[in-house]
Structure 1
Amino acid sequence: MSEFNGLGMGLGNLSRLSKAKTRSISAENFDGAKGKGGMATEGTGAEPGRDLGKGWKISPSIMIEANKSYTIAEIEGPGVIQHIWMTCFPAHWRTLIIRMYWDGEENPSVEVPFGDFFCNGWNERCNVNSLPIAVNPAGGMNSYWEMPFRKSAKITVENISEDEFPLYYQVDYSLTEIPSDVAYFHAQWRRSNPLDYKDVHTIVDGIKGHGHYVGTYMAWQVNNNGWWGEGEIKFYMDGDEEFPTICGTGTEDYFGGAWNFEQPKGEYGTFSTAYLGMPQVIKPDGLYHANQRFGMYRWHIMDPIRFEEDLRVTIQALGWRSGRRYLPLQDDIASVAYWYQAEPHQPFPKLASKDDLEII
């Protein structure tokens, strides 16, 4: 068994010994060096720790200044990131952009707003209890996506807001050899606001190469009355043009629910499971919340969508109109696509502007 198989440990091989070296990067050990954690003499905890000194939580976080980028992790490989924990104030979840780069690449393989990456796309806290993403009270964001690299890994965050705020983070990884058939982690954010009439929301396109699609998160605002989830998701792969190879049967079906997510009668039933869920329903409040908003995820961990040449993923927004006819909707839809592929990857479209990212 390769060393790598002892890293993303399921319970079936948890007892197997490995020569992998476990390391961790945080504000208490900026480069993850062995035996160098907790040595800070200055930092965001210096004032409360002034009577205790070095080793007593002197640097638990960093201050993120307005309109600046920070490299929070830079690792020389080969290795694999196994867990990321972060937290910051919800007001900044759309204006803090996470980017990840593998093996010195110029274009990021991951470019997603902070909250959306962790299945919290509305700047309002929502607990998530799934296998690769766990969000816990009160805003502890955890990723268990396996992120291998052969030469190097770099994680940056960019604050595009006018505010300064603290960021707490920890990146747990192992240094080990990576087999030749292991692919690289990717994630991309897109938004249609509003979706054009009779158009479809594109979750991702322009993927070229060999890989497999492993997940979807959607932050969906409904701009009409009535049910909104009749639309089908479609996976166009390996040369598909007008029609896809995989076509779903409805939005709530794709996310693992049925019959309008209606349980109990007259209400949306939230749920969060290992592989799929709708953990967030934000209702109109009669004052500032004018539209219903939903957060949903679907992880293709047990059923990855495999492609050899290319991939495009779209979803329809459909409701009902008179005469029991479908109504194409013009909703506010944001999504994150998660996938693995061999490098190099195609450069992503330019990320939306600050105004186009804004939750209104």
Structure 2
Amino acid sequence: MKKLVLIVLMIVCVTGFANAQEKFNGIDVNLGNLYRMSDAKTRSISPENFNGEKGKGGMATTGTGAGASKELGQTWKVSPSVVIKKHTTYTIAEIDGSGAIQHIWMTPTGNWRFSIIRFYWDDETTPSVEAPVGDFFCMGWGKYSPLQSLAVVVNPGSAFNCYWPMPFRKKCRITMENIDDADMVLYYQVDYSLTDVSRDAGYFHAQFRRVNPLPLKKDYVLVDGIVGKGQYVGTYLAYGSLKNGWWGEGEIKFFMDGDTKFPTINGTGTEDYFCGSYDFDTHHKNKAGVESSEYTEFCSPYTGLPQVIRGDGHYEVAQRFGLYRWHITDPIRFDKDLKVTIQDLGWHADGRYMPLQDDIASVVYWYQSDPHGAFPVFPSKDQLEVN
């Protein structure tokens, strides 16, 4: 019975996700109309078909799998991955024409903070998406944790999946920069459709930031400088607690369309914004009847605390958390501009709020009409590193 309820719930959630998206012509993303015919052309880019060309997959005679397949030959997994040399940038995908990315899968090796993924739409020279690959896929601390949501899924073996729809009208280019001092291996697949894109479809954007530590009594800026019309659709937070005690009292604020000192949307606390409550704690009693509590990881279609790193009591003592909140059924719509902040605020045992100075990194996700505003200067390698 429980399995049946879970299946029904997931069908409802996936259908809701599809219904909530702005549609592009020719692309059906709703389970309710998946049977309808379309003129869209499905294509896929991977190391076995670098350009996504029709009828040209599996043609490689050289590649990272050539040694293992030498007795089998062409079409037998000759080129399943690529090696991205240290301090170089690799073009994952370059697509001409109009269409939409529908799914991305990849499993990068190496340090996930030192592999920077970027997306460029149409003729732009600055990226609309710029983030470390781990943070983009909600794995900001460089350690695997299972995550099941509608927009991002991370499966065992550190398999990163993204389901944000990403329309483009002229061109799409995706790159990965390896800023590490060692080479990395990347397995990947970019699934997309070539089709007309409706006039009201916005371009997908994502931006990374990190402050470590946050100055005392200063709000953490998730994003600012967004100019134009669009909708804010998601937040990922990699939160590193640098003090004892509870850290999640800070309020998130959305300043939109000319707001100055006071925002239009003001949350009531960090755990509230991520749709949890009371410190994300589960309370229980041991055999002696003594009550205790602990952080409880959870994943749902729209919100989650998938990662809690508790520390080992030796050298890795820091408590670290990964949280996501997708505004899929409740996008934050703006007409002219948007700025989003969150407070770093804890709780004194004596009943007072306590301003904190923690290690906070984030990726925010939104759609807007282009051109987009300037992104901040991307952090240096030293500023990115997880210590």
Unaligned 5+ segments in structure 2 are 1-21, 285-292
**Cα distance change of structure 1 residues 342 and 212 upon mapping to structure 2, 3 Å threshold:** same
- Higher deviation after alignment, 285-294 or 43-52: 285-294
Q: What residue in structure 1 maps to residue 40 of structure 2?
A: 20
Q: Which amino acid aligns with 1:343?
A: D
Partner of 2:282: helix, strand, or coil? coil
Given that 2:223 and 2:340 are in contact with CA atoms closer than 8 Å, whether structure 1 keeps it comes out as yes
Question: Quick one: distance in 2 between partners of 1:268 and 1:280?
Answer: 10
Question: Quick one: distance in 1 between partners of 2:229 and 2:65?
Answer: 46
Partner of 1:217: helix, strand, or coil? strand
**Cα distance change of structure 1 residues 317 and 3 upon mapping to structure 2, 3 Å threshold:** closer
Q: Which amino acid aligns with 1:254?
A: Y
Shift of 1:264: 3.4
Report matched runs for 1:10-159 at 5 Å: 10-89=30-109, 91-159=110-178
Given that 1:3 and 1:20 are in contact with CA atoms closer than 8 Å, whether structure 2 keeps it comes out as no
Q: Which amino acid aligns with 1:244?
A: P
Say whether residues 1:205 and 2:229 are aligned partners.
no
TM-score, normalised on structure 2?
A: 0.91
Q: What residue in structure 2 maps to residue 345 of structure 1?
A: 372
Partner of 1:94: helix, strand, or coil? helix
Given that 2:96 and 2:172 are in contact with CA atoms closer than 8 Å, whether structure 1 keeps it comes out as yes
Give the superposed CA RMSD.
1.2
Equivalent residue for 1:277, pick from 296, 304, 313: 304
Equivalent residue for 2:239, pick from 220, 224, 231: 220
Partner of 2:372: helix, strand, or coil? coil
Q: Which amino acid aligns with 2:247?
A: W
Report matched runs for 1:121-270 at 5 Å: 121-265=140-284, 266-270=293-297
Partner of 1:116: helix, strand, or coil? helix
Shift of 1:3: 8.4
Q: What count of residue pairs does the alignment treat as equivalent? A: 358
Shift of 1:8: 5.0
Q: Which amino acid aligns with 1:20?
A: A
**Cα distance change of structure 1 residues 180 and 118 upon mapping to structure 2, 3 Å threshold:** same
Shift of 1:229: 0.3
- Higher deviation after alignment, 9-18 or 27-36: 9-18
Shift of 1:6: 4.6
Shift of 1:7: 2.2
Given that 1:63 and 1:167 are in contact with CA atoms closer than 8 Å, whether structure 2 keeps it comes out as yes
Partner of 1:356: helix, strand, or coil? helix
Unaligned 5+ segments in structure 1 are none
Given that 2:26 and 2:39 are in contact with CA atoms closer than 8 Å, whether structure 1 keeps it comes out as no
Given that 1:115 and 1:121 are in contact with CA atoms closer than 8 Å, whether structure 2 keeps it comes out as yes
Given that 2:217 and 2:355 are in contact with CA atoms closer than 8 Å, whether structure 1 keeps it comes out as yes
Question: Quick one: distance in 1 between partners of 2:32 and 2:316?
Answer: 47
Q: Which amino acid aligns with 1:345?
A: H
Shift of 1:77: 1.6
Q: Which amino acid aligns with 1:319?
A: G
TM-score, normalised on structure 1?
A: 0.98
Partner of 1:4: helix, strand, or coil? coil
Shift of 1:252: 0.5
Question: Quick one: distance in 2 between partners of 1:32 and 1:353?
Answer: 33
Given that 1:195 and 1:331 are in contact with CA atoms closer than 8 Å, whether structure 2 keeps it comes out as yes
Q: Which amino acid aligns with 2:319?
A: Q
Partner of 2:295: helix, strand, or coil? coil
Shift of 1:9: 0.9
Q: What percent identity do the matched residue pairs reach?
A: 60
Q: Which amino acid aligns with 1:354?
A: K
Runs of 4+ in 1 over 3 A off after TM superposition: none
Question: Quick one: distance in 2 between partners of 1:121 and 1:11?
Answer: 32
Q: Which amino acid aligns with 2:73?
A: G
